[in-house]
Structure 1
């Protein structure tokens, strides 16, 4: 099996070295990327044509022990009064074209905004950006599309490949 096939059946999760600027309880952000052909099996469950590049799954505030910060409902111990998920998605209009390309919902019949809402509700409200969803999504886009960052080399960053095709977020 070649490297493309191996990666095609894996989710590449990259731990960024972006450290919380505001001293929150989490230790680092984890940038999660998806290889579309591995996440879309069977293909009939996904939109077509599939992107031929890694797409964004999310940017996840993560504790030092590599577990995601919990954010749902009563478990949201992160930040008081974060921007709500519907309001967060409404603020994304200036970058919507880039989000549609790089951060798509690969599941057929489900709008991209549903995925963005989920990622904000699960991870964004626990980030340093809890009052600024536009910056959270835009900075994630910039990190994921950086030309100086090579996900196959890791550039000194932690690279973890998991075989479940979905990761933990």
Structure 2
């Protein structure tokens, strides 16, 4: 009996250490913001949150731990599920800066739960659940993409802009190169969808990206209205 208990304890310790290693071992975060006009201006369309139409501004998609080889950890701790009560003081900011546009219309909890379970749990030995969401919200405040682009004469008016001009505007304002993800509108135009910035593994400092996701935009891309 004692032998079996000892084996069980050892297995639990090994499992716990494995979670710890995976959670602490990532190299950097991708901080990703999306343009709601491009999310909605596609074949999948969108549904506004129950709180109403979001502001015409970039919104947070996620804060994602990654490795330098281009892979990433995911779903690192099933014993640490999303708990709404842990971010109750952030509710107003979450609704404003991290809304869900998925259908059917929702209050965002499914979206936030997915982001925490898949990505946040892989950083929880650096950022607990509250700090994970607060860090992303603070990064958005630090990097105002809409203001940066409009200052450069790049406006969400349905016009086309060169991909390089968008990258140059963001690098000029932040000091770091972004990675731009495009999607396709209903007329098959390439459009500005998401902007990635790299952040160190403390979630504190924006850094230069040494590894980039896969994907390609046209040289001229649409910036749709919202």
Find the residue that maps to 1:135 and give its secondary structure.
Answer: helix
Name 2:101's counterpart in structure 1: 106
Which aligned pairs between 1:7-156 and structure 2 lie closer than 5 A? 24-42=24-42, 45-47=46-48, 49-71=53-75, 76=76, 83-85=80-82, 87=83, 89-108=84-103, 109-129=105-125, 132-146=128-142, 152-154=169-171, 155-156=174-175
Q: TM-score, normalised by structure 1?
A: 0.68
Find the residue that maps to 1:51 and give its secondary structure.
Answer: coil
Gap change, CA 1:82 and 1:61, over 3 Å in 2: farther
Q: Does 1:157 align with 2:161?
A: no
Find the residue that maps to 1:69 and give its secondary structure.
Answer: coil
Alpha carbons 2:39, 2:45 under 8 Å: kept:
no
Gap change, CA 1:27 and 1:158, over 3 Å in 2: farther
In structure 2, C-alpha distance between the alignment counterparts of 1:128 and 1:59, rounded to whole Å: 12
Residue 82 of structure 1: how far off its partner (Å): 5.3
Alpha carbons 1:82, 1:131 under 8 Å: kept:
no
Find the residue that maps to 1:66 and give its secondary structure.
Answer: coil
In structure 1, C-alpha distance between the alignment counterparts of 2:114 and 2:28, rounded to whole Å: 20
Find the residue that maps to 1:145 and give its secondary structure.
Answer: helix
In structure 2, C-alpha distance between the alignment counterparts of 1:163 and 1:148, rounded to whole Å: 19
Identify the range of structure 1 (138-147 vs 56-65) with the bigger mean alpha-carbon deviation.
138-147
In structure 1, C-alpha distance between the alignment counterparts of 2:94 and 2:120, rounded to whole Å: 15
Q: Which has the larger radius of gyration?
A: 2
Find the residue that maps to 1:31 and give its secondary structure.
Answer: strand
Gap runs ≥5 in structure 1? 1-22
Cα deviations by residue, 1:65-107 (Å, 9 ceiling, x for unpaired): 2333222xxxx3xx5x75212x2x2211001000000000012
Gap runs ≥5 in structure 2? 1-22, 150-168, 184-192, 197-212, 214-226
Gap change, CA 1:38 and 1:134, over 3 Å in 2: same
In structure 2, C-alpha distance between the alignment counterparts of 1:148 and 1:37, rounded to whole Å: 16
In the alignment of these two chains, the number of paired residues is 137
Higher relative CO (CA 8 A, sep ≥ 6), structure 1 or 2? Answer: 1
Q: RMSD between aligned alpha carbons?
A: 2.9
